[in-house]
Structure 1
Amino acid sequence: MGEKLLTIEDIAQAANVAKSTVSRVLNNSGYVGKETRKRVEKVIAESNYTPWVTARNLSKQMSNTIGVVVSEITNPYFARAFEGISEVIDKNDMNIIFCNTDRTPYKEEQALRMLREKRVRGIIISPVIDYDVPEKAKLFRSQLESISAPTVLLDAPVDLDLWDGVFFDNFDGAYHAVKAMISSGHRQIGIITGDRKNKVVRERYRGYIKALKDSGLKVDPRLVFVGDYTVETAYRIGKSMIQAGMLPPAIFTANNFTTIGFIKACIEEKVELEKDVSVMAFDKLDEYDIFGLKYNRLERDPRAMGRMAAGMLVTRIQYPDMPRSRKIIPSKIVMCR
């Protein structure tokens, strides 16, 4: 039978026993004669069968591999989340197929099609789609359902009636980050957003607006700079506002790539952080800490999020009929002074 994924029927035929006998051997339940058990176990051993895979997996020809699909592997946030996922999956003797979609719906569709062909045991995915758009949501849902594997959503605001998920409250996080800036004495706080066609971006922007209004501050459109969550765009925006004399005394950079681009512009223009401008970053920049840069931040633990998502998936695989689960990861505000 070589490298073929076995079914119970394959094993039964090779061992010359009934399928129910194979099932009892695999699950170690019910009586099976000593010689018969040896014969079944010999077929399994000679076929390189992995014991972790249950009888139900064999009957469906499922693999011992999970798929992980993220939208932006170059983002340190997702890289650390993947470390957490790997930690749990390795401990459970499973394999991982990793897919990066580059925030492209077509690449996401290709990845899901490939995972379906690979008959993965489960999926952890951070979707590209905006679930508030009905036609996109319908397509995404049909793609996942066609795989027929347990699925955990990673840091994405998608309908939880269908899948488990580990999330972050983007509105609440942005709200408290901006409120912390206001509490430290700032009254003019700008923001560099992403593309507000994306729900996560809208939620963070909504948190920014709500924090200002709840503090009795007006929203100044001149302080709202629309980016796309890339280093390059944030860098251009930062250079432009500094050179035009439009740099606010405080600014909320709404994702880590935006923070990196903005800080790069400040360094080149000799703008000193916390003296000339106070930055509130969405996520900690571990790679920048060695430079001693002063910036405020909202901190999350993406590695813990990855561990949580992988643990949730393993549990779902073991107990497919349990109620759907939703977990919100915590965060904290760190002020640099």
Structure 2
Amino acid sequence: MGDALEKQRRVTLTDIARACGVSRATVSLVLRRSPLVHAETRRRVEAEMRRQSYVYNRAAANLRQRVSTTVALVINDLSNPFFAEFAAGVDEALGAKGYVTLLGSSNESPERQRQVLASMMEHHPAGIILSPAENSDVADVELAIGRHAPLLVFNRELTGPPVPGFEYDFLGLDNRAGARAATTRLLELGHRRIAFYGGHADSSSCRERRLGYQDALSGAGIAVDQRLMIETAPTLLEANAHADALFAMDPAPTAAVCYNDAVALGLMLGLTRLGRRPGVDFAVTGFDNIPEAAVGMPPLTTLDADPRARGRQVAELILQRAAAPSMPRRSVIVPVLLTERDSTPHA
């Protein structure tokens, strides 16, 4: 039985061509779904492939042709609904162009990220889309993927000094302007004690959102109280668990600008647990506009980043880069729009 399995693994295009009485080139055209092959010939070749249990070695073919039909997508947190939507958009756009998405997750670990990237590179992807783990160093990424692989970094900047000769595209959200708009709206509603809740301060996206929050407060003549900037992991469970930190000071805040929607939804659960009514006793804003935001209790005011559209956008950008590796580096910042719902009452 072992000999039979080994024989199956060694079936080649030449074996299929010989059995069908056609050239190896014809079999190759069938695999590529070329319209040049007569329908009856295609039927016979495909039937013979099934009979001999032929498995197409696409990786080897990619190496021979110096092309690839895969794109690597490495996400920092697959548990965040934003990235589920984002990955769906990436796969949707890549699939429309005949590409397959290789999906990996770093779980916010730069060490795990290096392992995942190195493994992805064994498949010789046409490009890499990376939503970096917190504190991802540019030199580590370059070491994992090499200097010439097409790379697009999404939303978080890589840390550390630039590596000469290592270029990559960047697509980010207008984090600072978004958080400024959310804070400004809370000020317009009469709130003066406003917290910035969630996220880690050393993450570039969180740092930018904090700056937008501080911009709005300073513009209104309100001194920034560092105690009102509360760090948590950017997850629903952590935000829920630390909600009582908002009420450990006197006077307590009446509103919070949250790092993302997962944090905002977790905070609203925490407020309810503490006997406070989000959208009535306390105002909450999010960031991302994941589908769950619209059905929160109450529906969540948030910054709309349209994660699925951002996924389609990065897919298009990485394919453009793969097709033209020498084009100048691109950095694209996408505006976000405040979507107001019921979680932001007047003070």
With the shorter chain as reference, the TM-score category is: 0.7 to 0.9
| 1:60 to 1:280, Cα distance in 2 relative to 1, 3 A | same
Q: Report the count of equivalent residues.
A: 298
State the match for 2:189 in structure 1: 184
Residue 249 of structure 2 is aligned to residue 248 of structure 1:
no
User: 1:123-152 CA distances to partner (integer Å, 9 max, x unpaired)?
Assistant: 111111536xxxx22222232325x43222
Write out aligned runs for 1:123-134 (5 A): 123-130=128-135
How big is the shift at 1:294? Answer: 4.4
After superposing the two structures, state which structure 1 stretch, 297-306 or 155-164, moved more. Answer: 155-164
Task: Report the TM-score, using the length of structure 1 for normalisation.
Answer: 0.78
Partner of 1:282: helix, strand, or coil? coil
Deviations 1:62-92 (A, max 9, x none): 4321111000111111110111111111111
Partner of 1:24: none
Distance 1:97 1:166 in 2: 20
Who is 2:139 aligned against? 138
Q: 1:137 to 1:290 in 2, by over 3 A?
A: closer
SS of match in other structure, 1:270: coil
Structure 1 unaligned blocks of 5 or more: 16-37
- Residues 243 and 175 of structure 1: CA distance in aligned 2, closer, same or farther (over 3 Å): closer
Counterpart of 1:217 in structure 2 is: 222
CA distance in 1, matches of 2:116, 2:340: 40
Kindly state the Cα deviation for residue 243 of structure 1 after the two structures are TM-superposed: 7.6
Instruction: Name the CA shift for 1:144/1:93 in 2 (closer, same or farther; >3 Å).
Output: same
- 2:279 maps to what in 1? 274
Residues 249-304 of structure 1 deviation map (CA, whole Å, 9 limit, x = unaligned)? 11111122211221111222331223211112123242253355144221110111
Indicate the larger mover: 174-183 or 304-313.
174-183
Question: CA 1:129/1:277 → structure 2, altered by over 3 Å: closer, same or farther?
Answer: closer
The more displaced of 258-267 and 312-321 is: 312-321
Equivalent position to 2:26, from 42, 64, 71: 42
Identity %: 24
2:113 is aligned to 108
CA contact (8 A) 1:273 1:295 kept: no
**1:21-74 CA deviation, whole Å, 9 max, x = no partner?**
xxxxxxxxxxxxxxxxx967336337x4587x9xx9645754321111000111
What SS does the aligned partner of 1:298 have? strand
SS in 1 for 2:83: helix
Residue 221 and residue 202 in structure 1: after superposition, are their counterparts in 2 closer, same or farther (change >3 A)?
A: same
Residues 130 and 137 in structure 1, CA contact (< 8 A), matched pair in contact too: no
Q: Distance between the aligned counterparts of 2:153 and 2:64, measured in 1? A: 26
- Is 1:152 aligned to 2:152, yes or no? yes
- Aligned-partner residue type, residue 217 of structure 2: L
Assess if the C-alpha contact under 8 Å between 2:70 and 2:126 holds in 1. yes
Q: Measure, in 2, the Cα distance between the counterparts of 1:328 and 1:50.
A: 39
Alpha-carbon distance in structure 2 between the residues aligned to 1:330 and 1:184: 23
Does the 8 Å contact 2:178/2:212 carry over to 1? yes
Q: Which residue of 2 aligns with 1:72?
A: 77
Q: Is contact 1:129–1:140 with CA below 8 Å preserved after alignment?
A: no
- Counterpart selection for 2:89 from 79, 84, 89: 84
How many Å apart are 1:216 and its aligned residue?
0.6
Moved more, 107-116 or 290-299: 290-299
Q: Distance in 1 between matches of 2:293 and 2:27?
A: 56
In structure 2, runs of 5+ residues without a counterpart are 1-7, 35-57, 343-347
Point out the more displaced range, 236-245 or 289-298. Answer: 236-245
Cα distance change of structure 1 residues 243 and 139 upon mapping to structure 2, 3 Å threshold: closer
Q: Give the Cα separation in 1 of the matches to 2:213 and 2:25.
A: 62
